[in-house]
């Protein structure tokens, strides 16, 4: 059935690192507005903006102090309105990031809860508990924060509050009707402003198991392990998304919800996408797959098979602001380019993280003094700080900050990035930027690349993936040697130069008309 989002290519903008209009070294909304034509030309359908709300920035804006206000470092509500209006004029949709699991410790409700003390009504909107042990010196349970350390912090009056992330990010109590009402109202606020949808942060975390039971000492926090955790993916969470769906559907124009849900399996993720819940969920199972034909094929089949029964599109994600950039994860630019063409050939919706279209690598040698990530992030099978994938985008020029702005950049960009800038790559047919542009152009024009929820696998040598979708064929050689395969048609696009049509280059993906 129709729905713009079913096959959409959605581009993630990380506002502080995209484009800086006022020379303070931090990206902002006006910078984003001025670069919308670039995104249009790239050929994406929608733009997801990571948080720009009023925030003390303890977790780069994922700690929201006011869900209806813009942080001055990013601009004003007027600027947000301008981004949405200009995007719409270019036929680009805007998805805003909603952070419902927790707020900032500077949110009015939390400040009031702290002031008013134990037993007062505002405390019930969070998870406040007395401690255990003599004098309540021990946290109420043994849960660990995703950022390391106990998931509880003690306040001066002796109570403890729960935070699955940083201590500056107190978790809301989603059993409380005031919390539920407030978020429906926040949804309406942004829908009224024209937002086309929401990316829902930690969508799987809102509901906690009754009684907040201990995890058990020896259990490791592996978010993608196949374990059931008392603070993630609880069945009660689905009731919330059903009520949000009713709000989304009150609005014309196909407004959507995208779940950031780490669950033990693709089938559990599909539950968020039942027809009366959300529209998409990030495919972290795919993101965590290595550049290996067999593993990729398994992940592709598993993803498609899980989504088909609920009628939701699969999504494909290679990079985002929380994980090591895929060029670095996969070990080379060739593989990154091949992985991109493979992703863009699959049915469903694809996410592109800013800078991956330039082939940017993770910056691994940032000095400690410049890093801002609060702590180790123990999700998605990685353990580490996330600054290296958040380095500001190089737009042009020979000197840092390479057109990012006029006043430096909050994280230093490597000198080699002059050669990776948008200006340096534009018009160079061998560049990664032109590869993405060409791929998105073909994807748009080619009917077989649109519809559908499956692929037809073709026989292929070991290490090679080959599938058909109508008159379109995709082959991906994940090995580091060229592989002979009779050309399945006429080559449309190749991630590495095709010297001979029936010799697939090492680490390459080729699109064929056949």
* Residues annotated catalytic, as ranges: 201, 250
In the complex, the smallest distance separating the C-beta of residue 165 from ligand GLC, rounded to whole angstroms, is 4
Beta strands in 360-471 (DSSP E): 456-457, 464-469
- Count interface residues toward ligand GLC (CB under 6 A): 9
Strands 46-49 and 9-13: parallel
Q: Is position 387 an interface residue for ligand GLC (rule: CB under 6 A)?
A: no
3-class DSSP assignment, residue 404: coil
Q: Is position 62 an interface residue for ligand GLC (rule: CB under 6 A)?
A: yes
Q: CA 286, CA 348: separation in Å to the nearest integer? A: 13
In the complex, the smallest distance separating the C-beta of residue 57 from ligand GLC, rounded to whole angstroms, is 12
Asked whether the beta carbons of 187 and 97 are under 8 A apart, the reply is: no
One residue of 20, 45, 59, 71 binding ligand GLC per CB under 6 A = 59
How many Cβ atoms from other residues are within 10 Å of residue 205's Cβ? 25
Which residues are bridge partners to 488 per DSSP? none
Asked whether the beta carbons of 358 and 425 are under 8 A apart, the reply is: yes
Q: Is position 351 an interface residue for ligand GLC (rule: CB under 6 A)?
A: no
Residues 89-128, mask of contacts with ligand GLC (x by CB under 6 A): ----------x-----------------------------
In the complex, the smallest distance separating the C-beta of residue 364 from ligand GLC, rounded to whole angstroms, is 19
In the complex, the smallest distance separating the C-beta of residue 374 from ligand GLC, rounded to whole angstroms, is 8
Shorter beta-carbon distance to ligand GLC: residue 197 or 488? 197
Q: CA 329, CA 102: separation in Å to the nearest integer? A: 30
One residue of 28, 168, 171, 322 binding ligand GLC per CB under 6 A = 322
In the complex, the smallest distance separating the C-beta of residue 64 from ligand GLC, rounded to whole angstroms, is 9
One residue of 159, 201, 277, 334 binding ligand GLC per CB under 6 A = 201
Q: Site residues for ligand GLC, window 249-308 (CB under 6 A)? A: 260
Q: Is position 168 an interface residue for ligand GLC (rule: CB under 6 A)?
A: no
Q: Is position 202 an interface residue for ligand GLC (rule: CB under 6 A)?
A: yes
In the complex, the smallest distance separating the C-beta of residue 372 from ligand GLC, rounded to whole angstroms, is 12
One residue of 67, 165, 183, 436 binding ligand GLC per CB under 6 A = 165
Shorter beta-carbon distance to ligand GLC: residue 258 or 345? 258
Spatial neighbors of 181 by CB under 8 A, at least 6 apart, are: none
* Tokens at 474, concatenated: 């995709």
Shorter beta-carbon distance to ligand GLC: residue 196 or 201? 201
Q: CA 266, CA 282: separation in Å to the nearest integer? A: 10
Q: CA 314, CA 283: separation in Å to the nearest integer? A: 7
3-class DSSP assignment, residue 199: strand
Spatial neighbors of 135 by CB under 8 A, at least 6 apart, are: none
Spatial neighbors of 117 by CB under 8 A, at least 6 apart, are: 123, 157
User: Which residues are at the interface with ligand GLC (CB under 6 A)?
Assistant: 59, 62, 99, 165, 201-202, 260, 321-322
């Amino acid at each position: 059935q129709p729905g713009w989002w079913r096959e959409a290519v959605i581009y993630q903008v990380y506002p502080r690192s995209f484009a800086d209009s006022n020379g303070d070294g931090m990206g902002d909304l006006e910078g984003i507005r001025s670069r919308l034509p670039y995104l249009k030309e790239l050929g994406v359908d929608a733009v997801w903006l990571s948080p720009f709300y009023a925030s003390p920035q303890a977790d780069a804006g994922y700690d929201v102090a006011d869900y209806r206000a813009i942080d001055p470092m990013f601009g004003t509500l007027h600027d947000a309105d301008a981004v949405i209006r200009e995007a719409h004029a270019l036929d680009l949709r805007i998805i805003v990031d909603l952070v419902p699991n927790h707020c900032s410790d500077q949110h009015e409700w939390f400040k009031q809860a702290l002031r008013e003390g134990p037993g007062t009504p505002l405390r019930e909107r969070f998870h406040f508990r007395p401690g255990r042990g003599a004098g309540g010196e021990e946290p109420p349970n043994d849960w660990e924060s995703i950022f390391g350390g106990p998931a509880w912090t003690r306040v001066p009056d002796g109570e403890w509050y729960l935070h699955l992330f940083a201590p500056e990010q107190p978790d809301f109590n989603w059993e409380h009707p005031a919390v539920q009402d407030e978020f429906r109202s926040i949804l309406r606020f942004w829908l009224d402003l024209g937002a086309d949808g929401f990316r829902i942060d930690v969508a799987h975390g809102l509901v906690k198991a009754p009684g907040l039971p201990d995890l058990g000492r020896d259990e490791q926090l592996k978010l993608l392990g196949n374990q059931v955790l008392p603070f993630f993916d609880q069945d009660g969470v689905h009731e919330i998304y059903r009520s949000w769906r009713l709000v989304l559907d009150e609005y014309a124009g196909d407004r959507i919800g995208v779940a950031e849900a780490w669950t033990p399996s693709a089938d559990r993720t599909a539950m968020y996408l039942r027809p009366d819940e959300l529209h998409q969920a990030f495919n972290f199972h795919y993101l965590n797959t290595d550049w290996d034909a067999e593993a990729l094929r398994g992940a592709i089949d598993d993803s498609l098979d899980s989504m088909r029964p609920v009628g939701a599109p699969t999504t494909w994600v290679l990079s985002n602001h929380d994980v090591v950039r895929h060029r670095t994860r996969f070990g080379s630019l060739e593989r990154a380019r091949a992985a991109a063409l493979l992703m863009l050939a699959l049915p469903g919706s694809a996410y592109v993280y800013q800078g991956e279209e330039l082939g940017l690598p993770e910056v691994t040698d940032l000095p400690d003094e410049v890093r801002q990530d609060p702590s180790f992030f123990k999700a998605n099978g990685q353990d580490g700080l996330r600054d290296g994938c958040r380095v500001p985008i190089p737009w042009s020029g020979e000197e840092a900050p390479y057109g990012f702005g006029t006043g430096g950049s909050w994280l230093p960009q490597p000198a080699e990035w002059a050669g990776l800038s948008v200006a340096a790559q534009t018009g160079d047919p061998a560049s990664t930027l032109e590869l993405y542009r060409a791929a998105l152009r073909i994807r748009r024009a080619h009917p077989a690349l649109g519809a559908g929820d499956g692929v037809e696998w073709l026989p292929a040598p070991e290490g090679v993936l080959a599938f058909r979708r109508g008159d379109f064929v995709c082959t991906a050689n994940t090995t580091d040697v060229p592989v002979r395969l009779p050309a399945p048609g006429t080559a449309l696009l190749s991630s590495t130069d095709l010297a001979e049509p029936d010799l697939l280059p090492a680490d390459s993906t080729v699109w064929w008309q056949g």
